[in-house]
């Protein structure tokens, strides 16, 4: 293990959800819990067996650490391990604090040209990498991203990086769609009160064809329905956003058109990829951060996220550090 002095911690919608509702699905907050799982910091101390890190190293933290080497770990899909430790998922504490201890194998050294803030953004970026891999985005793909929050935006970034020829994105908010344009979306659709079929046909007319891939980032029933209708026959719909446990969808439409529906759960094996992309400047994730607060103003930061202002709110845990 390593002891870290924390630097930058991003606030996620799930953090806000636990704070407001006290649960997400089967994960219920029963005791006080530290929030935060999008984080970077500096190594202060290393355990006796740690060789790849030393005090002073700047690292990004992968929040999911398997507790045992089970069949999922053996096949490289450790995110599916049922006993996994995960920061800020009850009963496991997160890392929104000054000092934090974590498994050394899940701390990744940041190159000098990757900032702490970028290091913290690797967590949401990882969701995009994992989703686009599961979706099979490749050279020339036409992609429909549903929802323009932070996760929709990282999927736009990664899809373009992986060779997508055109990406169309939907949202209710004009300002969020503007942000999507900034990070590389080719087309935007501001949804008002269209039916799912109408949204699907708008996607098709903007792309000039139905997309082979849809990445659904809202979890909203109508959006999942639109995702099925929009996806080309033989294509893939990846469900990233989580909403109600039971959702009514046109499953027969998907079945007879051979639309593959895939889920994702967090990510695995994404930190080295993300660090390589950031270090080589192949991806610019910096525009995602719109607000910064010191740890003392955490409540204000959480309120800002809850109100849906900006895109990504970042907390600064190290009072000695004056850099943005």
Is 187 within the bounds of a domain? yes
How far is residue 60's CA from residue 62's CA, in Å, rounded to a whole number? Answer: 7
Is 62 a member of any domain?
A: yes
* pLDDT above 70: percentage of residues in the chain: 99
102 and 136 assigned to the same domain: no
Q: In total, how many domains does the chain have?
A: 2
Q: Does residue 155 sit within a domain?
A: yes
Q: How many CB atoms lie within 10 A of CB 192?
A: 6
Q: Say if residue 213 is in the same domain as residue 157.
A: yes
pLDDT by residue (tens digit) across 143-184? 999 999 999 999 999 999 999 999 999 999 999 999 999 999
Contact 172, 152 (CB under 8 A): no
What pLDDT does 322 receive?
A: 52
Pair (179, 301) in one structural domain: no
Q: What is the CATH number of the domain that holds 99?
A: 3.90.180.10
Residues 52 and 164 in one domain: no
Query: Is residue 322 domain-resident?
Result: no
Q: What is the DSSP string of 204-262?
A: HHHHTS--SEEEE-S--HHHHHHHHHHSPTT-EEEE-S---SS----HHHHHHTT-EEE
Q: Are residues 56 and 172 in the same domain?
A: no
Tokens of 208: 């000039």
Determine, yes or no, domain membership for 297. Answer: yes
- CATH number of the domain that residue 232 is part of: 3.40.50.720
Looking at the structure, do residues 293 and 255 belong to the same domain, yes or no? no
Domain region containing 96: 2-109+285-316
Q: Is residue 272 part of a domain?
A: no
- Residue-wise pLDDT for 242-264, tens only, equals 999 999 999 999 999 999 999 99
What confidence tens digit (pLDDT) does each residue in 211-243 have?
Answer: 999 999 999 999 999 999 999 999 999 999 999
pLDDT given at position 166: 98
Q: What percent of the chain has pLDDT over 90?
A: 96
Question: Is 134 in the same domain as 54?
Answer: no
pLDDT category at 321 given cuts 50, 70, 90 is low
Q: Work out the number of other CB atoms within 10 angstroms of the CB of residue 186.
A: 18
Q: Token digits for 191?
A: 């949804």
pLDDT band for position 318 (50/70/90)?
confident
Query: pLDDT band for position 324 (50/70/90)?
Result: very low
pTM as predicted: 0.96
| Dihedral angle sign, alpha carbons of residues 74, 75, 81, 84 | positive
Q: Is residue 123 a part of any domain in this protein?
A: no
303 shares a domain with 243: no
């Amino acid at each position: 293990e390593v002891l870290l002095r924390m630097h930058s911690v991003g606030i996620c919608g799930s953090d806000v959800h636990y704070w407001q509702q006290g649960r997400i699905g089967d994960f219920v907050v029963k005791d006080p819990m530290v929030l935060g799982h999008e984080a970077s910091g500096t190594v202060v101390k290393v355990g006796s067996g740690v060789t790849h890190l030393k005090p002073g190293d700047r690292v990004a933290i992968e929040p999911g650490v398997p507790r045992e080497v089970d069949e999922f770990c053996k096949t490289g899909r450790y995110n599916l391990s049922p006993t996994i430790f995960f920061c800020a998922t009850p009963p496991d504490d997160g890392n929104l604090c000054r000092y934090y201890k974590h498994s050394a194998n899940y701390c990744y050294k940041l190159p000098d040209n990757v900032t702490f803030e970028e290091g913290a953004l690797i967590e949401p970026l990882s969701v995009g990498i994992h989703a686009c891999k599961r979706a099979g985005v490749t050279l020339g793909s036409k992609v429909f991203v549903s929802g323009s929050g932070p996760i929709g935006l990282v999927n736009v970034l990664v899809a373009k990086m992986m060779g997508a020829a055109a990406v169309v994105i939907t949202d209710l908010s004009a300002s969020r769609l503007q942000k999507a344009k900034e990070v590389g979306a080719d087309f935007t659709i501001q949804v008002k009160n269209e039916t799912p079929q109408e949204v699907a046909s708008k996607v098709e007319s903007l792309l000039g064809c139905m997309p082979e891939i849809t990445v659904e980032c809202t979890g909203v029933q109508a959006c999942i329905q639109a995702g099925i209708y929009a996806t080309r026959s033989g294509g893939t719909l990846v469900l990233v956003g989580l909403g109600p446990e039971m959702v009514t969808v046109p499953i027969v439409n998907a079945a007879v058109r051979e639309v593959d529906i895939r889920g994702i759960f967090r990510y695995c094996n994404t930190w080295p990829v993300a660090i390589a992309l950031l270090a080589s400047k192949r991806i610019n994730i910096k525009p995602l951060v719109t607000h910064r607060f010191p740890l003392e103003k955490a409540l204000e930061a959480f309120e800002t996220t809850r109100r849906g202002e900006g895109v990504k709110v970042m907390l600064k845990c190290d009072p000695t550090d004056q850099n943005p």
